[in-house]
Structure 1
Amino acid sequence: MIRQVFSQIVNLLGASLPNRCLLCHQGVARGQTGLCSACLGASLYQQPVCLGCGRGMTLQLKYCGSCQQSRPLPVVAPASYHQGLGPVISGIKYQGQMAALESLCQALVERFEELEALGLVSRPQALLPVPLHPGRLRERGFNQAWMIANRLSVILGIPLVDDCLVRTQHTLAQAGLDGKARRQNLKQAFELQQALPYPRVAIIDDVVTTGTTVSEIAAQIRVQAPDMQVWCLARAEAPGLLD
């Protein structure tokens, strides 16, 4: 029931908002919301990138040479956070500006299907949104990771699982913290409260920066879900990796 209500809210918001691109402010074609085709296309990756660190590559492989050794969690994202979409995704998270949510979720689906066709990732059995602490959820009024996961679940027909993992600590916001502070801030912040019946899952978030959040979640669910990947609307990779 709750999922249906959220879906209806997103649809109503999209229908009621002015049909203007959030980036260039020009009119958006009928059937699109939030971003025009030109701005969305220009913001998406224009080159292959490593699924481990986000480094630009010549050919689309799963990992660059450095990540071949460590084999980090693969991150499926359609774009870099730094190449135009930062303000749009921040608007989703902090202002509840949902106009572009549908377009960005569709771009993420297309990116996943491209990588799946190349044999670099497998279709997950379940989508696991990064949970918010109840206190933060009351403050914000919604969990953007849940809303993204819910839309992806509808598009792809993959179950959304939101009753296994909880956030037990009301941590500081990660924005503005360095890598060490992020790790300390999220230490033991998540808890798996019941069995996760799917060994292959995708952890869903709005943006991945250092990967601290998803790494903490992975540590909690690795035994029950050994095959994990991360899906997000954009990746905030380290400076210079796409140069």
Structure 2
Amino acid sequence: MNPASEILFTIFPSRCVLCNRPTDGLVCNDCLSKLPSRFFRCRICGRPVPVKNSICSNCLEEKSRFFRRGFTIFNYNNENVKKLIEFIKFYEMPQLINIMDKYSKLLKTIPLKSACIIPVPMHKKDIRMRGYNQAVLIAKKLKQIIGFNICFDCVEKIKQTKHQVGLTAKERKTNLKGAFRLLKLPRQQTILIVDDVFTTGSTVNEIAKLFYKENMECYFFSLAATPMAN
């Protein structure tokens, strides 16, 4: 920290975005330690489930699933996790993605030897409005931790869709139908799709379907996952 920064920090100390207490970073260690990352996970999609080694009802009922398995860090059913995602997406605080470094040990347990990371693309108009695609930033951080290659232009979003929040599972599928197209194939035969939150799986599944048709195997990673589909 340079002298000018030290003076500013003394006068205006940094505060945790979650609890507003003074801290050296954006999130204090106390809040970090309370973020729910230890829970039973669905054997297929990785979402929180009440029983160890079980499969969630969504995966049991889904007849057209095009991904093999999913991985996540946080249980989205937590107010602080929801705040983090909101700050990253809507309050121009993408640097919060760096908290993934604290979970590098967990991320390195993803059982893939090699894969191409595919961030979920945003429509060009939506990127211009927000200024960045949070899935791209998550993908870049994931690459730093586990070392896989990234393809930023393998998939394009060609349809500007409604926000998924508040839509039923059926409405989400309809909303995203035909929203993406495959531009090119990566060298790797295994794909790791990256997004911020896994809810019903409609977004991931729609992209995975593109690669499934090319006889490629798809997995996904999300920062957080809901315990059940809304």
Q: Same fold by TM-score, threshold 0.5 exceeded? A: yes
Q: Distance in 2 between matches of 1:207 and 1:18?
A: 31
Q: Which amino acid aligns with 2:97?
A: L
Q: Is the 8 A contact 1:101 1:148 kept in 2?
A: yes
Partner of residue 214, structure 1: 204
Q: Deviations over 1:112-145 (max 9, x none)?
A: 323x4xxxx3244211000011111111110000
Partner of residue 45, structure 1: 37
Q: Distance in 2 between matches of 1:124 and 1:225?
A: 16
Q: Deviations over 1:26-73 (max 9, x none)?
A: 2334xxx322222122112332221435243554x4x53865796864
Partner of residue 165, structure 2: 175
Partner of residue 191, structure 2: 201
Partner of residue 98, structure 1: 94
- Mapped pair 1:21 → 2:20: no
Q: RMSD across aligned C-alpha pairs, in angstroms? A: 2.7
Q: Distance in 2 between matches of 1:209 and 1:18?
A: 36
Q: Is the 8 A contact 1:179 1:210 kept in 2?
A: yes
Partner of residue 112, structure 1: 107
- Mapped pair 1:56 → 2:18: no
Q: Which amino acid aligns with 2:203?
A: T
Partner of residue 89, structure 1: 85
SS in 2 for 1:176: coil
- Aligned in 2, Cα 1:109/1:57: closer, same or farther, shift over 3 Å? farther
Which structure 1 residue ranges, 5 or more long, are not aligned?
1-15
Which structure 2 residue ranges, 5 or more long, are not aligned?
1-8
Partner of residue 11, structure 1: none
Partner of residue 3, structure 2: none
Which of structures 1 and 2 has the bigger CA Rg? 2
SS in 2 for 1:162: coil
When the two structures are aligned, how many residues end up with a matched partner?
Answer: 214
Tell me the CA shift for residue 230 of structure 1: 1.0
- Aligned in 2, Cα 1:145/1:65: closer, same or farther, shift over 3 Å? closer
SS in 1 for 2:77: helix
Q: Which amino acid aligns with 1:135?
A: K
Q: Distance in 1 between matches of 2:104 and 2:212?
A: 24
Identity %: 28
Tell me the CA shift for residue 18 of structure 1: 6.1
Q: Is the 8 A contact 2:48 2:75 kept in 1?
A: no
Tell me the CA shift for residue 185 of structure 1: 0.6
- Aligned in 2, Cα 1:185/1:18: closer, same or farther, shift over 3 Å? farther
Q: Distance in 1 between matches of 2:68 and 2:103?
A: 17
